[in-house]
Amino acid sequence: MNFLYPGFLFSLLAVAIPILIHLFNFRKFKKVYFSNVSFLKAVTVQHSSREKLRNLLILACRILAIIFLVLAFARPYWSSGTAGSPENGNLVNVYIDNSYSMEAVNKEGSLLDEAKRKAKTLAKQFQLNDKFQLTTNDFEGRHQRLVNAEELSNLIDEVKVSPVERSLQQVINRQNSADAGKRNQYNYVISDFQQQFVGKSALNTEKNNSLNLVRLNANTIPNVAVDSIWSLSPAHKPGDREKFVVQLRNYSADASTGIPLKLTVNNQQKALATLNIPAGKAIRDTLSFSGLSAGWQKGVISIKDFPVTFDDNLAFTFKVSTELKVLQLSGAHSGKYVNALFGADPYFKLNTMPESAIVYAGFHQYNLIVLAGLKAPSSGLAQELKTYMKNGGTVVVFPDLEAGAAVYSSFLEALAVPQTVSLSKDTVTVNTIALKNKIFNDVFEEIPAKLDLPKVNQHFIYTGNNSNGREDLMGLPLNQPFISKYRSGSGQLYLCATSLNIKDSNLPQHPVFVPLFYKIALTSVQEQPLYYTVGKSNYLSSAPITLNPNQSLRLISGKQEVIPEIRQVPGQTLLYVADQIKTPGVYELYKADALLSTYAFNQSRAESDLHYADDKALRAIFGAEKVNLTKPGDDLSFKAVENNHTELWKLCLVLCAVFLAVEALLIRFFNKLKI
């Protein structure tokens, strides 16, 4: 038997009170004169024996009543087993939520500090032969070993806030994966139970393990977060004007006004704004700036919002390139318009290969490959282009109409795009243009009522196959495509229905030609994501990297250094970081002393929503599963016993009442003597 509050056992000294009263029963005597003394002696002897028995019984009742009353306050209990054996002890797995939301403060201090105190209190209620296991969001390997209560206390002291995000189901699965052996297993989850942590789907538990949810008293706090950022600029050129869209989200029930927003790039302020955000809504703002030089850029979007600050900054990185490489594969007399388009801008590095001297090995060096009037495109070229697009490359095809539909039909079939059916010599005008497509962003300052679109004298007609994956930029009558985009692997292919020969159409001389294909070239740049998320992004992408034997890469941020695993895939190198990156910030990738790339990591914005699941929601997601729920303010030490042991305090109170009742009956009826 054990006691929840053994200090109350000192109150058993109160047993001495009725004993003293029994031993020193001071009574006042009064003289009574009788004429017949012999009869009086008989009565006195008979009464004394019954009185002595009565007093002893009353004394016993009082002593037992006091004992059971003290025991009731000391809360006696004994352990009860479920799947294991009591003699083998228990395995107690304690999860402490150490996410950013646990930095919130209540009257007990920070929620994380309160969780630590509760975990230590909990450990004290178990036996010396019981073992403990600590679980946090980090899922550290060192926490997998079984420890005693003292070692657990030391591990709890080391717990700090972590950017890693977990779900309640992941935590339960982690706890149930512990090898309890023949021990009874008790799982405790100490958390604020954010709605995103709990989720909405039904949860599964292990029926042989006792699951106890310890909910902390977390208050919903108003919060505004920098939600995300993306670029409107298809490519980043030195000195060009950059446009970024920033999204802020208000998670509170009240509108937030006058939120200051600041954009810094390379520690230089580039833009300022002040925003008002309606309750529960998200707003977007476009920030423009210029003056960047070539190289990697490190940007930060920041706001000022209290008391929650972990989501007030969002880091991002991007590269300003000095050139964009374009390869032209041209037939005879077909490349002058492509040369005129890309040759005049020094940003574009144009290289031309004649149809008779195509070198496949260098395709991966180019962002864009343009096929201009090839008379006999081969199946080998098609396979190389397919591999090139699979790795993220962009291809533009202007067919040679004189080569015939049959020649291009087999070539396009090898590229997995619609084949040519026939050559139409009907003169038509382009009648549709996808103005909402991002290709045409910033192309038209003002859209006229009647657009002057290209005129086509002859063009190929394509099959309807693969039309579901077709994205028409410009179209001809009868729903025939003129310029269409097709996805291929990680890249894309733009297919035109006519050639660049002026006798076939006026497209090369039309005003839409230059901005359209200029934008196609700019959007061909493969950029890495502006930022990654801590705990969620396991792979980082990079341009192909060649390493010597025994050479490794390093990701460095301040004093933190990570050596990623390398995986080579066609067209890129993947860096596997797993859970090595745990701190938000900007990390630089080095090969020896050479900077290869930069990566930004941010905390997941799921923690920004500081709304919490109530008791009803917690019970609903478990359905018929049995869980024990501890509310804020409940005595956790008492709950530990209540959930995991058989208590005896109620029985003690009943026995105390029984002995008091027996005492009352003895006093009332036992002294009625028959004389």
10 Å Cβ neighbour count for 42? Answer: 10
- Omega of the bond leading into 448 within 30 degrees of 0 (cis): no
**Using CA of residue 252, residue 257, residue 258, residue 262, what is the dihedral sign?**
positive
The class (CATH top level) of 86-220+610-634 is alpha beta
3-state secondary structure of 146: coil
Structure tokens at 487: 């996805």
Q: How is domain 324-522 classified at the CATH fold level?
A: Rossmann fold (3.40.50)
Contact 608, 582 (CB under 8 A): no
Structure tokens at 49: 């024996």
The class (CATH top level) of 224-321 is mainly beta
What is the pTM for the complete model shown? Answer: 0.76
Burial classification of residue 190, based on how many CB atoms lie within 10 Å of its CB (0-12 exposed, 13-18 middle, 19 or more buried)? buried
Residue ranges in 75-125 assigned as alpha helix (H) = 111-123
Contact 230, 244 (CB under 8 A): yes
Mean pLDDT, contiguous 10-residue spans, the chain (675 residues): 79 87 66 63 60 84 91 77 56 93 85 93 85 93 90 95 90 89 86 92 83 87 94 88 95 93 96 95 95 94 90 95 93 81 90 91 91 92 93 93 91 92 93 86 70 92 73 92 91 94 93 91 89 87 86 91 88 85 92 93 90 90 84 61 68 91 84 50
E strands present in 452-531: 455-456, 459-462, 470-476, 480-488, 491-496
- Alpha carbon distance 532, 578 (integer Å): 12
> What distances in angstroms separate CA 304 from CA 223, 286, 312, one per listed residue?
11, 18, 7
- 210-229 in b/e burial notation, b at 16+ Cβ within 10 A? bbbbbbbebeeebbbbbbbb
Contact 96, 134 (CB under 8 A): yes
- Alpha carbon distance 75, 2 (integer Å): 8
Burial classification of residue 611, based on how many CB atoms lie within 10 Å of its CB (0-12 exposed, 13-18 middle, 19 or more buried)? middle
- Alpha carbon distance 553, 589 (integer Å): 7
Q: Which of 282, 216, 208, 298 is nearest to 248 (CA)?
A: 282
The reported pLDDT for the residue numbered 74 is: 87
Q: Which H/E stretch holds residue 3?
A: strand 2-3
